[in-house]
Structure 1
Amino acid sequence: MASHQMMDHDMPGMPGHGGHDTGPTCSMNMLFTWDYNNLCIVFRWWHISTAFQLAISMAIVAALGAGYELLRCRIRNLDKRNITATANPPSRLELAIGYGAQVFYSYMLMLVFMTYNGWIMIAVSLGAMLGFYYWGNVAERQMMCH
């Protein structure tokens, strides 16, 4: 049975693991937390260490959540135009690009949510709520990745 001490993990950029420290330390939580110190949102460069940075990040995340609802509205309109248009319907390529953008956007928001940080989760939810208020269609309401 090999001990953990004998295992050599070369992890570039990780202090104490044979690499050089290349930037701020990001805390990676797999449990729900309200702590924002050393929180990184999806990317190492989106590093939060102060309450002000958290507030700005929450506003950005809420705007991203609302933007997702705007994108969904535009995709819905393309789909409707595809069904009802007799002249100049969207091409299959336009529909595919819209669908791909929507899938990518939803999974990126899911990754943001998966910081397991309560403040960021609230921001995603508030953004979705605001986006739904402005661009949502009650008849087509459904849960997505955010």
Structure 2
Amino acid sequence: MDMGHGDMDMGPACKISMLWNWNTIDACFLASTWHVRSKGGFAGSIIGIFLLCVSIEFVRRVGREYDRRLILAAKSTVAGVLPEVDANKGTDAPAMPYQPSWVQQIIRGFAYGSQFTAAFLVMLLGMYFNGFVLFAIFLGQTVGYILFGRDTCTASVDHVASGSCC
């Protein structure tokens, strides 16, 4: 029976499995347009998934750096307004609440949104239970954290000497 495709050869169908698998050729991810038809295409997909995971950690780092820059700018603005505090008296300057401007918050929102969207897509890719894909995800997130997560464990010498957590 003709299904309306005429004489067109549709080729092999997508292999989609929600159980553990090692499918390579004819594997499909996220959409029928991501139909892997060759070993090179599959290798490119795995490398792309790895780089997507690394980029998630990069965007997280950029977001943290941007937040630090905003806070540092706010502190330097406040420091120019408040009188100097005598360090020997042990008093601190009053805490000033800081809130980013709407433009700054929009930039922060785009950084967060892009990181969240990429992480959501990685989660969907993981749901295919393809061993190669899962390995690329685990390795990509690990390498990304090694490259871009070092700044999350920093402390001043005073904190280390007092036993405070980093």
**Structure 2 length as normaliser, TM-score?**
0.63
> Which aligned segments of 4 or more residues in structure 1 are displaced greater than 6 angstroms?
87-90
Q: Is the 8 A contact 1:65 1:131 kept in 2?
A: yes
Q: CA separation in 2, counterparts of 1:75 and 1:108?
A: 19
* Equivalent in the alignment of 2:123: 110
Q: Does 1:28 align with 2:16?
A: yes
Q: How far 1:135 sits from its partner (Å)?
A: 1.2
* Equivalent in the alignment of 2:139: 126
Q: How far 1:119 sits from its partner (Å)?
A: 0.4
Q: CA separation in 1, counterparts of 2:137 and 2:151?
A: 19
The amino acid of 2:37's aligned partner reads S
Q: Is the 8 A contact 1:24 1:44 kept in 2?
A: no
* Equivalent in the alignment of 1:47: 35
Q: CA separation in 2, counterparts of 1:104 and 1:37?
A: 27
Q: Structure 1 vs Structure 2: percent identity of aligned residues?
A: 29
Once the two structures are superposed, the pairs formed by residues 64-75 of structure 1 within 5 Å of their partners are: 64-75=52-63
The amino acid of 1:106's aligned partner reads A
Q: Relative to structure 2, which stretch is displaced further, 83-92 or 59-68?
A: 83-92
Q: CA separation in 1, counterparts of 2:118 and 2:134?
A: 16
Q: CA separation in 1, counterparts of 2:43 and 2:119?
A: 22
* Equivalent in the alignment of 1:136: 149
Superposed CA RMSD: 2.8
Q: CA separation in 2, counterparts of 1:57 and 1:69?
A: 19
Q: Does 1:100 align with 2:88?
A: no
**Unmatched segments (≥5 aa) in structure 2:** 78-99, 154-166
Report how many residues are paired: 124
Q: Relative to structure 2, which stretch is displaced further, 43-52 or 80-89?
A: 80-89
| Bigger Cα Rg | 2
Q: Relative to structure 2, which stretch is displaced further, 111-120 or 39-48?
A: 39-48
**Unmatched segments (≥5 aa) in structure 1:** 1-15, 141-146
Q: How far 1:50 sits from its partner (Å)?
A: 3.1
The amino acid of 2:48's aligned partner reads I
Q: CA separation in 2, counterparts of 1:99 and 1:43?
A: 25
More helix by share: 2
